[in-house]
Structure 1
Amino acid sequence: MSVLPARTGRTGRTGPAGRTRRTGRVVGAVAAALMVLPLAACAAGGSDAASGTSDEDRFGSPDNPITLTMWSWGGGDTAATEKAYEKLHPDVDVQITQFGGSGDVYTKLGVVLKAGDGAPDITAVELMNMPSFAAQGYLVDLADYGASADSYNPSAAAAASFDGSLYAIPTDTGPLVMYYNQALFDQLGIAAPTTWDEYRQAAETLKASGHFIADIDPGDASLSLGLLQQAGATPFSLEGDDAVTIDFTGKEASAVQDYWSSMITDGLIDTEPAWSQEWFNHFADGTYATWLTGAWGGSVLSGSIPQANGQWRVAPLPNWSADSVSDGVWGGSGSAVTTQSKHPAAAAAFAEWFSRDQYLDQLDNAANMPFPANQEVLDDPRYVDASSEFLGGQKPGQLYIDAAATVNTDFQFLPFQLYANSVFKDTVGQAIVGDGDLSAGFQDWQKKIAAYGTDQGFTVTSK
């Protein structure tokens, strides 16, 4: 793993509304192999935004056509997306480049942002990793181009914001829910647990019959962070321009660590790496009875284990007490406009369309799509009325909306979250697959990311 150069100090760039944009942070970009690449020590170039934008700025004209480039990952019919937007706005040429995964995008972004040239107008970004780029001044404040957080689910808008500004148009998000094998639960006389105490009781019943209630991937920080968020923990706090506090020792964080440590040491959950087809097959054959994941998980399960069609259901994430309902998030992505864009107003307009229209077009199959962030989509009756064949005819839309409404939006991510996530497997992950002492694992993680933040010029308080 490469070591990033020390931060060289701040420079300022004044935005269209007279705000000073902080730049100068050096953070890591994580490649597919979780290697950290150096980013620039100051913001890359790009045009300053105008305080007001015209239709020509947003959609071009015959005399001034616009070409927009976007980097993304995963599947999807990019040609259809390009054609749909170009039909609406014939003076805009959209060119979407697909990468194999988010790490591939971040790796190349790290190179071109450091070089100061070659970045796309728009990049897809995971919302938890957005601050790693916004903190350096690499992303445009989208409010300068008319974007409003009010257009999006509040939990998604909060995750897409950094230091009070909206730096990504959220496309989807992932309030945590519990997918569970209803057929197996019925066979063993288990009711869907509503509290973590009930979840453990169900796990003990399942273990006695040769099943795990769940699996925790030792290489992915997402679920652990979401569970901490649900519990009200604040492991990361940001204050001002440079101050970062990291604390995994608080009451709420300790409760989460103790609970899951006991689940590991008592053999109630498995600790295998996720995402292989063999891993998915464990959900189909009853090895794993639940999946604690984001509200996008139903579409993933239905496509990965069609042989279990109709056997699964979804319920709210268990809570710490029956009268205290809260939630965390796993996942969520958005579209960010880079400061290298020569057409930031047009890029912002496309990002807003992309967040809304692609989901409106899928609402006839709403139960099998990721949880959308756009409020107009969520308010459409077709969303809550859609039933899922995989979930036995259940209509999950309202459950997802209700879960999102209880997300702890005070939770913050680090301005070097990319690096923090890359070393999770070497710290907490080792405790998960080892002796199960998550308290020690989180302390190791805290020491490593605190040292990194200090090396990058942040004032880090580690408790």
Structure 2
Amino acid sequence: MTKVNDIVDRWNTENPNIHVTATKFDGAAQEMIKKVETDINAGAGPCLAQLGYSEVPELFVKGLTEDVTEYATQYESNYSGAFNMMKVGETIVGLPQDTGPLVYFYNKAAFEELGIEVPTTLEEFQTAAATAAAAGKYIATFQPDEAQYWLSAQSAAAGGSWYNFVNDEWKVDANSDASAVVADFWQKMLDDKTVSVLERWGDAFGKSLTDGELIGTIGAAWETPLLVDTMAGTDNDGKWAVAQLPDFGAGALTGPDGGSGVAVMKGCEHPEQAMEFNNWFNTQIDDLVSQGLVIAAKGEMTTPENISAFYGGQDVFAELATANANLSADFAYMPFFSAVGPSMVEAAAAAGSGSGTVADVYTAAQDASIKALTDGNLPVAE
């Protein structure tokens, strides 16, 4: 793994007129954001900071980021659809670094044994799920604890765009036709009991994988090495593969589940030079991939040997690069998106238990989004 300091040292050697100092923050992500805010308000903030995509709009409305649109547009062609994640309305505050497009992970050997193909449409997926369930296997699991990002990303894959800033107002469309496609997709399989219901970060998820009961999962690209770690040393070695999401009705499209970018922060005295370094750093493909990142920059990513071996020799990062290219450019987060999560998770848990529906998750997202914006004194379109 190439360390950040080593990458920065190389920049400083090659660019003596633009010196960069890297500072590592060892606390939790939310604590880092608080520290950045405190430092900026004290006039001692950094020029650049790594932010989760969902954090970008909130820091923007708090006045903690710089408008670097005039410097950023020249770099747009270097990046996938994740470039849009560093925009709030038409204002660009930085550049994307890594991504979390949804992809489909599956046990290729188990699929072949059951005589099912990798589904390319939602109907094919439901049919394959029924075939697998009849044999005591599941090609997917409904994940209530991941509802906020996982289900919003699937809505994006169906062509949804939840939040748009139009005429100085936030327009919320979480409970859209695109979301209804996703809700109907999962509801049928839940009703038919052809998918399992598991918390993604619970022990039961890993056990279901290692035991061979769960033979497929829709997940973020950054889960690629995590699945390797979970199933390492089991009969799953060399049997899994990665594919694109099935078509949710909008063609070859996927949505964002996680990822981060590097923003120029308020008070930066040299925003143009900061953006020059920002673009250089985030296009150091091999270095960033060595850190386990699925990078937002366009270019060939070389699959690490241990990952290729687990996935049966597949050039996995080439598949993830395709997902990057298919990442929706129309989906972005709103300020205070973190406040939307609890209501979605609660509604998803009810859907998983049968006391609610998947459609309720998107209704909860709509209501919670409007409340969060209103509580933040931001204008919301009727």
TM-score w.r.t. the length of structure 1 is 0.72
Q: Which residue of 1 aligns with 2:50?
A: 124
Q: Which residue of 2 aligns with 1:442?
A: 362
Q: After alignment, is 98-107 or 329-338 more displaced?
A: 98-107
CA distance in 2, matches of 1:361, 1:215: 33
Q: Which residue of 2 aligns with 1:339?
A: 266
Ranges in structure 1 where 5+ consecutive residues have no aligned partner: 1-74
Q: Which residue of 2 aligns with 1:371?
A: 294
Instruction: Quote how far apart the aligned CAs of 1:158 are.
Output: 1.7
Instruction: Quote how far apart the aligned CAs of 1:450 are.
Output: 1.1
2:116 to 190, 193, 212: 190
Q: Which residue of 1 aligns with 2:344?
A: 424
CA distance in 2, matches of 1:229, 1:315: 18
Bigger radius of gyration among the two = 1
Q: Which residue of 1 aligns with 2:327?
A: 407
CA distance in 2, matches of 1:98, 1:270: 38
Counterpart of 1:292, as a letter, is I
Say whether the 8 Å CA contact 1:264–1:436 is kept in structure 2: no
CA distance in 2, matches of 1:356, 1:171: 8
Q: After alignment, is 431-440 or 286-295 more displaced?
A: 431-440
- Alpha carbons of 1:151 and 1:325: their partners in 2 closer, same or farther (altered >3 Å)? closer
1:279 to 195, 205, 223: 205
Say whether the 8 Å CA contact 2:106–2:217 is kept in structure 1: yes
Runs of 4+ in 1 over 6 A off after TM superposition: 384-387
CA distance in 2, matches of 1:222, 1:157: 18
Instruction: Quote how far apart the aligned CAs of 1:199 are.
Output: 1.0
% identity of equivalent residues:
24
Which protein has the bigger strand share?
Answer: 1
- Alpha carbons of 1:205 and 1:133: their partners in 2 closer, same or farther (altered >3 Å)? same
Residue 116 of structure 2: SS of its match in structure 1? coil
- Alpha carbons of 1:128 and 1:189: their partners in 2 closer, same or farther (altered >3 Å)? same
Deviations 1:403-447 (A, max 9, x none): 333333222321332322354324444444452412223223322
- Alpha carbons of 1:326 and 1:107: their partners in 2 closer, same or farther (altered >3 Å)? same
Q: Which residue of 1 aligns with 2:244?
A: 316
Instruction: Quote how far apart the aligned CAs of 1:178 are.
Output: 0.6
Residue 145 of structure 2: SS of its match in structure 1? coil
Deviations 1:141-162 (A, max 9, x none): 3344466343433301122222
CA distance in 1, matches of 2:20, 2:100: 31
Name the structure, 1 or 2, with higher relative contact order (CA <8 Å, separation 6+).
2
CA distance in 2, matches of 1:324, 1:432: 28
- Alpha carbons of 1:354 and 1:392: their partners in 2 closer, same or farther (altered >3 Å)? same
CA distance in 2, matches of 1:279, 1:118: 44
Q: After alignment, is 134-143 or 311-320 more displaced?
A: 134-143
Which protein has the bigger helix share?
Answer: 2
Instruction: Quote how far apart the aligned CAs of 1:193 are.
Output: 1.0
- The alignment status of 1:460 with 2:380, answered yes or no, reads yes
- The alignment status of 1:238 with 2:165, answered yes or no, reads yes
Residue 171 of structure 1: SS of its match in structure 2? strand
Q: Which residue of 2 aligns with 1:152?
A: 78
Say whether the 8 Å CA contact 2:120–2:247 is kept in structure 1: yes
- The alignment status of 1:395 with 2:315, answered yes or no, reads yes
CA distance in 2, matches of 1:145, 1:324: 32
Instruction: Quote how far apart the aligned CAs of 1:208 are.
Output: 2.1
CA distance in 2, matches of 1:337, 1:173: 19
Q: Which residue of 2 aligns with 1:297?
A: 223
- Alpha carbons of 1:423 and 1:117: their partners in 2 closer, same or farther (altered >3 Å)? farther
Deviations 1:204-241 (A, max 9, x none): 12222223322333233111011101111233332132
- The alignment status of 1:268 with 2:188, answered yes or no, reads no
- Alpha carbons of 1:274 and 1:158: their partners in 2 closer, same or farther (altered >3 Å)? same
CA distance in 1, matches of 2:303, 2:5: 29
CA distance in 1, matches of 2:193, 2:44: 50
Ranges in structure 2 where 5+ consecutive residues have no aligned partner: none
CA distance in 1, matches of 2:218, 2:275: 33
CA distance in 1, matches of 2:28, 2:121: 35
Say whether the 8 Å CA contact 2:182–2:248 is kept in structure 1: no
- Alpha carbons of 1:97 and 1:312: their partners in 2 closer, same or farther (altered >3 Å)? same
1:174 to 80, 84, 100: 100
Q: After alignment, is 259-268 or 425-434 more displaced?
A: 425-434
